A and B are shown apart, each in its own frame.
Chain A
Amino acid sequence: MRVFHFIAGVALAAVIGHGEAAAKNTRLVFVSNEKNSTITVLNLDNEVVRTFETCARPRGMHFSEDRTEFYVGCADDSVIAIYDVATQELLRRIRQVEEPETFDLHPNGRHLYISNEEDATATVFDVETGEFVTEFETGEEPEGVQVTPDGRLVFVASEAANLVHVIDTEAQEVIKDILVDTRPRRFALTPDGTELWVSAELAGIVDIISVETLEIIDDIAFLPTGFRKEQVTPVDLLITKDGTRAYVALGRANHVAAVDVKSRRILDYILVGKRAWGLALTHDEKRLYVANGLSDDISIIDTESLKVLTSIPVGLVPYGILIDDH
Chain B
Amino acid sequence: MIIRLFSIACLLALGAIPALAAKEVVSFAYLQRVNDPAYERHRAYTGLVLRDRAPPLDGAKTALRESRVLGRSIGVKFELRETALGEADDAVAAIENLAAEGTRIFLLDLPLADVKRAAQSLAGRDLLLFNIRHGADELRGEACSPVLFHTIASDAMLMDGLAQFLFKKNWTDVLILEGEQEADLIASAAFQQSARKFGLNVVDVRPFVLSNDPRVRDETNIPLLTGDADYDVVFLADSLGEFGRYVPYQTYDPRPVVGSEGLVSSAWHWAWERHGAPQLNQRFDRIAKRPMKDTDYAAWAAVKSVVEAMVRTESRDIAVLRAYLTNDAFTLDTYKGAPGNFRSWDNQLRQAVLLHTHNAVIARAPLDGFLHQTNNLDTLGRDRPESACRFE
Contact = CB atoms under 8 A, between A and B. Distances in A.
A182 B282 contact: no
Contact of B73 (A140, A179, A203, A230): A179
Contact of B70 (A117, A139, A141, A202): A139
B73 A219 contact: no
B contacts with A: majority SS: helix
A182 B339 contact: yes
Contacts of B363: none
B164 interface: no
A177 B69 contact: yes
Interface stretch (B10-18, B76-84, B139-147, B330-338): B330-338
B66 A205 contact: no
B311 A141 contact: no
A181 B2 contact: yes
Interface in A87-123: 117-118, 120
Given A118-B283, A159-B276, A221-B1, A252 B337 contact: yes
Nearest to A137: B69
Interface string B272-294: 00001001101100000000000
Interface stretch (A21-29, A160-168, A260-268, A276-284): A160-168
B217 interface: no
A228 B337 CA distance: 13
Contacts of B210: none
B73 A182 contact: no
Among A158, A162, A205, find the residue whose CB has the most chain B CB atoms closer than 10 A.
A162
B307 to A, nearest CB: 9
B70 A161 contact: yes
A161 B333 CA distance: 10
Contacts of B276: 141, 159-160, 183
A292 interface: no
B73 A163 contact: yes
A163 B70 contact: yes
A181 B69 CA distance: 16
Interface string B304-340: 0000100100000000000000000001010001110
A101 to B, nearest CB: 10
Given A179-B73, A228-B376, A140 B2 contact: no
B23 to A, nearest CB: 16
Nearest to A165: B69
Given A140-B283, A179-B311, A182-B331, A230 B338 contact: yes
Nearest to B311: A179
A141 B70 CA distance: 12
A139 B338 CA distance: 22
A138 interface: yes
B384 interface: no
A141 B65 CA distance: 12
Nearest to A293: B274
B198 to A, nearest CB: 21
A219 B66 contact: no
B333 A182 contact: yes
Interface in A192-225: 202-203, 205, 219, 221
A198 to B, nearest CB: 14
Contacts of A230: 337-339, 375-376
Given A162-B311, A181-B2, A141 B69 contact: no
B36 to A, nearest CB: 30
Interface of A: 117-118, 120, 137-141, 158-163, 177, 179, 181-183, 202-203, 205, 219, 221, 228, 230, 252
Given A137-B69, A161-B70, A163-B69, 8 more contacts: A118-B282, A139-B66, A141-B279, A158-B69, A177-B69, A181-B2, A202-B339, A230-B339
19 contacts: A137-B69, A138-B69, A140-B65, A140-B66, A140-B279, A140-B283, A141-B279, A159-B333, A160-B280, A160-B333, A161-B69, A179-B73, A181-B2, A182-B333, A182-B339, A183-B276, A202-B331, A203-B2, A219-B1
